[in-house]
Amino acid sequence: MVGRLVLILGDQLTDQISALREADKGSDIVVMAEVADEAAYVPHHPKKIAFLFAAMRKFAASLSNDGWQVRYTRLDDPDNAGSIPGELLRRAEETGAKEVIATEPGEFRLIAALEECPVPAHLFPDDRFLCSHAEFEAWADGRKELRMEYFYREMRRKTGLLMDGDKPEGGKWNYDHDNRKPPPGSVDAAPMQFTPDAGVEEVLDLVGARFGDNFGTLRPFWFATETGQARRALTHFIKTALPRFGDFQDAMMADEKFLYHSILSMYLNAGLLGWREICDAAEQAYRDGHAPLNAVEGFIRQIIGWREYMRGVYFREGPDYTSRNALNHQRGLPGFYWDAETDMACLSAAVAQTRDEAYAHHIQRLMVTGNFALLAGIDPHEVHEWYLAVYADAYEWVEAPNVIGMSQFADGGIVGSKPYVSGGNYINKMSDYCKGCAYDVKVKRGEGACPLNYLYWAFLDRHRDRFGKNPRMAQMYRTWMRMSDENRAETLESAAGFLAKLGRGERV
Ligand code: FAD
Ligand code: DLZ
Ligand code: SF4
């Protein structure tokens, strides 16, 4: 009997994936493929490509060991058709299969490609997530605003995580107020690193040869590439970093790229880990008295709250979400996003770290690279493509709502009720960047002033029609209007001069 093809994508690397659960080991054939189309729809960071290819190869081998028939295509296979539908067609011709089963991809682009695939494809829901599309719709329908906090409480009740009967553990749902400490003097944690084995080295050579010109440093490469390693990285995080995760969640340090963050998102998003095992391990650390509630609640909120909420927004809003531009921002992405060549120490550090690690933590993404792009009026689609390319954990379902919604306010306020913007003060409070900067964070306008200071006011001024009546921003507009006419004019002049320089491609 000719079976069906079972497509497993690069970010679906778990034997719990719905397509495999639906498949018949005796007759169906697993198809996995490293293809040029997926590797090049944005110029992915070489570490991201290497991570996925290495993890795909190991997962395919584990499926074969488990008795599955697997057809795996390597990137340099001369018969490689170059795209997922192309590979499915080739494998269908080769095996006589007439049908494909797959788990719904995390990007509309690929869902559309499978819908148009010459071999009919049946998609099963991706039930690695806590909240299904229907459940998110039911929660969102009829609400004036989709506030993550309320969604999160539902997810706490649904999972039973950090619950004390029907009440939140400790009496409060959210301990964010305790999670805003400035940088510590030193950091006594680091993510677990893995030495590449021969198989990973082979992938690194391939990626170096094919994608070596992409933005991003390939070596040293230390990511986990299989579930066993990712689980060790999880245990290591729980033991060494989780207790201080909450306190320093928002802090940024030039020489400490990871602080007390978990560095697990790439493993979770690719399927090497599941949300349940991560959250259970974190909760257990709290119950054992190893980690405090503010840390564990803050960490679990990111996963069952923000992560699930972002996915819900992406699938609810639809394929046009990534082209939204509510603030009509049109400026091109500055060159320094690709080479870190800027005198702004915060931006230089965040971009350099991104280049070296394919990683930056949430506040660096939101309040440094995201904040600058928003203040400078960069086209949100260009910003979106940058984020999708440069982070090892980036897939549209999670990247787009974070960038288009939370960071750039390009969705007009679905994800956030006000834009996340700040001047230099916030960065100075939460990081050690400013002390090594060519600009002076204390100077508000004119020569040598921190550009974020005047760009912030210029942004508010430019968008006064939209935000002037927002109660959460009223105080800032009052401060702006209390400035003398002369100071306001000089502030706008500084911003215009800076943006003109940026527009001419000069170093800023
Ligand atoms: P930790 O700080 O240790 O947090 C624990 C986990 O919570 C993460 O592993 C992640 O799975 C989850 N999480 C935390 N915040 C979010 C969030 N806002 N949305 C979804 N999940 C969250 N995350 C991605 O996984 N992929 C992306 O492409 C991505 N792009 C982002 C772009 C911008 C502009 C912003 C502001 C945030 C983005 N995030 C993205 C969310 C967040 O920055 C990363 O999940 C986090 O930095 C990953 O590092 P970590 O594993 O050390 O996370
Ligand atoms: C990101 C990525 C890359 C770089 N390469 C591949 C690949 O060659 N083969 C594959 O199956 N998946 C790859 N992926 C992940 C897909 O792009 C991802 O499945 C979709 O973007 C949906 O999330
Ligand atoms: Fe960034 Fe301004 Fe601080 Fe320089 S002074 S690091 S530009 S916030």
Percentage of the chain exceeding pLDDT 90: 98
Ligand 1 centroid–CA 358 distance in Å is 13
Ligand 3 atom nearest to CA at 453: 2
Give the bridge partners for 437, in sequence order.
none
Each residue's pLDDT tens digit, 146-201 = 999 999 999 999 999 999 999 999 999 999 888 889 999 999 999 999 999 999 99
Using a 6 Å cutoff on CB, does residue 107 contact ligand 2? yes
Closest ligand to residue 416's CA: 1
Task: For residue 448, give the 3-state DSSP assignment.
Answer: coil
CA of 365 to the centre of ligand 3 (A): 15
pLDDT recorded at residue 14: 98
Predicted pLDDT at 177: 86
Residue 2: pLDDT band with limits 50, 70, 90: confident
Distance in Å, CA 263 to ligand 1 centroid = 9
What pLDDT band is residue 271 in, cutting at 50, 70 and 90?
Answer: very high
Q: Minimal CA–CA distance to 34: which of 51, 21, 16, 15?
A: 51
CB-side exposure of 83: number of CA atoms within 13 Å?
A: 11
Q: Which atom of ligand 2 is nearest to the CA of 35?
A: 8
Any atom of ligand 1 within 6 Å of the Cβ of 366: yes
Q: DSSP of 11-29, one letter per residue?
A: T--STTSHHHHHS-TTT-E
Residue nearest (by alpha carbon) to ligand 1 atom 41? 362
What mean pLDDT do residues 235-260 have? 96
Q: DSSP characters for 409-423?
A: -TTSSSS-SS-----
Is the CB of 44 inside a 6 Å radius of any atom of ligand 2?
yes
Query: How much distance in Å is there from the Cα of 183 to the middle of ligand 2?
Result: 36
User: Running DSSP on this structure, what letter comes out for residue 403?
Assistant: I
pLDDT of residue 479: 96
362 CA to centre of ligand 1 in angstroms: 6
Decide whether any atom of ligand 1 lies within 6 Å of the 313 Cβ: no
pLDDT band at 139 (very low <50, low <70, confident <90, very high): very high
Confidence of residue 336 (pLDDT cuts 50, 70, 90): very high
List pLDDT tens digits, range 272-318: 999 999 999 999 999 999 999 999 999 999 999 999 999 999 999 99
Q: Are strands 5-7 and 100-103 parallel, antiparallel or unpaired?
A: parallel
Count of alpha carbons within 13 angstroms of residue 342, beta-carbon side? 27
User: Mean per-residue pLDDT for 248-267?
Assistant: 97
Please give all residues whose beta carbon lies within 6 A of any atom in ligand 3, as ranges.
344-346, 424, 427-428, 433-434, 437, 439, 441, 450-452
For 370-422, write each residue's pLDDT tens digit. 999 999 999 999 999 999 999 999 999 999 999 999 999 999 999 999 999 99
What's the rounded Cα separation, in Å, for the pair 319 and 115? 14
Atom of ligand 2 nearest to the CA of 34: 8
Residue 484, token pair as written in the block: 């003398």
Q: Tokens at residue 103, please?
A: 């788990």
**pLDDT score of 35 more than 90:** yes
Q: Which ligand is nearest to the CA of 44?
A: 2
Nearest CA to ligand 2 atom 8: 34
How much distance in Å is there from the Cα of 9 to the middle of ligand 2? 6
